[in-house]
Amino acid sequence: MNTSTVTHEKSHVFKRASWFEHIELIMALISGVLIVLAYIAERQVGASWIHVTLYLTAFLIGGYAKAKEGLTDTWETRSLNVELLMIIAAIGAASIGYWMEGAILIFIFALSGALETYTLNKNERALESLMELQPEQATRFNDDGGLDVVHIDELSVGDRIYVRPGERIPVDGRILSGSASIEEAAITGESIPVDRNVGDEVFGSSVNLNGVLTLEVTKLATETLFQKIIQMVQQAQEEKSPSAQFIDRYEGRYVQVVLFSVAAIILLGPIFTPWSLETSIYRGMILLVVASPCALVAAITPAALAAIASSAKHGILFKGGVHIENMGRLKAIAFDKTGTLTIGKPEVQTVLLHPNFSQADVYRIVSLIEEHSMHPLAEALVQFTGKHTGTMEQFKDVTGSGIEAMIDGVTYRVGKQKFADASGDFFPDEVEQLKEAGHTLVFISDETHTLGAFALRDTLRPEAKQAIERLNRLGIETIMITGDNEATGRAIASEAGLTRYIAECLPDEKVEQIKLLKAEYGSIGMIGDGINDAPALATADVGIAMGEGTDAALETADVVLMKNDLVRLSSAIEQSRKLNRIVLQNVVFALGVILVLIVTNIFELLVMPFAVVGHEGSTILVILNGLRLLSSSWD
């Protein structure tokens, strides 16, 4: 199946999924409204067909999706599931006159299912945003030397393709002729373009900024590095968490045990106990009600939703309860550099000037020249040197090197050291120190002298150091994984106070590093903002995206820092740890109540009203305990 077909089919799947998730949620909410109306009717009118009809309608509307899912799954896998148990428990409660009990079971389960569907579909849409960056066509040289526009799936290894300025490179290849600045943000995440010349490798989906290139195809469209990013996101999303695997493993057995126990009480009660058949059915129905997982669902879901709501008020968006639970179990957090720990835009940090030339003159020349450049560093240089007036002539952009221009009759060069400082003797010690500290240097020279050098570097976010300090105090290891070079990585890690750093990582290498860190620490989070971070975000136990990040990062991540405030990470971890304590309390209490109700039912000490009170009472108590998270304080 070719890329365009995949993209086309995916778009229809996403539309259907989006429609279904909204219908499922609407049906659950309608079910809840009907329950309230039925309760009011029962209290106002008493026993009548009105409230029974309302409860029955709530059953049908709220339970349809889960009943269909449970029956379909049972038929396909030949094993019972919790969905089926919940439906049977609800019907069982209604069969002995407890319509409201059954309806509430249906409502809670339907609502949780709708939220789960919504979260899963949000993650699936990450693939769509990634696919939109993959070009579908390429300009290929034919046998006669002409150009043909073809679909990328028609390209073969060894084909020659033509890439114009401003176009995305369609597939991975090697430059045969030409040179250009290539924006590789989709692959490496770095904001500063890299210069590529004849013989260099380039990646599909990166952008040719300013050169005319002839490339030799080195990989098929389905094997490019960018396609691997898409595949890794998809694979990581399909991998189930340990909790999900545990539930899948024991779900069928739990349902079998409960249903077997109910059947045993009903069938064997009259034979081996003094119970009549009517009493046995009564005891069986009580068991079916009290053994239903309603209290256990309430032990986790309301607390998680309360924690999510509280976090959202403070600028942290969790995409589900499981993610906020996992947040509290993190032992380490891996940080992307550009746009996450740093602002993502280079700024001038240091200026070196020749003693015989004034600062005003050098700044004026640099400003006049860089105003006409499209290079990302040009904007930072113009902002630093300010706007100036003057006439410039013979502007020449030397791809991969810099700019040559004439001002006031003098020819100047601005760019790389070999281009604008041919002698290499301009403050050699200072220049070397700046390079080791991770700076990018731009030199300026006239026809005889090097006039100066500007050292630029991406700067730390103002709150980054405080955020790292707070995480370290919580016992969280802080690690930076960056595609940048060793010198820059070392300098930023030292300045931020990180525990360690890993430099020069491509997206697939970031994923491998995350897997290694998971093996080392047991549970790890990853925070980033770029398309290239998406596979690592999906692989980590908790993927965290900056709110100003790319759509791919936002869709793939489990958590989003809406206000880009890294300091909130430590508060979110503390909130998560509190949630996990409350969930443990709730689960122990809910299981204890279920056990007590089952035992008292067996010994005929429990009647249905008390079973309802005990079951619903425990549910209410664990909900109230969970709702304490709504009022929890944040630093």
The CA distance from 175 to 190, in Å, is 21
Sheet strands (E) in 485-633: 500-502, 524-528, 542-546, 559-561
- What is the b/e burial string over 139-164, where b = at least 16 CB atoms within 10 angstroms of the residue's CB? ebeeeeeeeeebebeebeeebbbbbe
The H-or-E segment that residue 9 falls in is: helix 3-45
The set of residues, in sequence order, having a beta carbon less than 8 Å from that of 90 and lying 6+ positions away, is 59, 63, 101, 102, 103, 105, 106, 292
336 is catalytic: yes
Q: Is the dihedral of CA 615, 616, 621, 625 positive or negative?
A: positive
Q: Which two tokens stand for residue 280?
A: 């046995």
Give the residue among 384, 339, 346 at the shortest CA–CA distance from 362: 384
Q: Is the dihedral of CA 249, 252, 255, 260 positive or negative?
A: negative
- How many CB atoms sit inside 10 A of residue 132's CB? 11
Q: What is the 3-state secondary structure (H, E, C) of 354-405?
A: CCCCCHHHHHHHHHHHHCCCCCHHHHHHHHHHCCCCCCEEEEEEECCCEEEE
| DSSP conformational letter for 152 | G
Which residue in the block uniquely carries the two structure tokens 């930072």?
A: 380
Does residue 582 contact residue 305 with C-beta atoms inside 8 Å?
A: no
The CA distance from 262 to 268, in Å, is 10
Catalytic residue among 73, 153, 172, 336: 336
Instruction: Calculate the CA 147 to chain-centre distance.
Output: 41
Catalytic machinery residues = 336
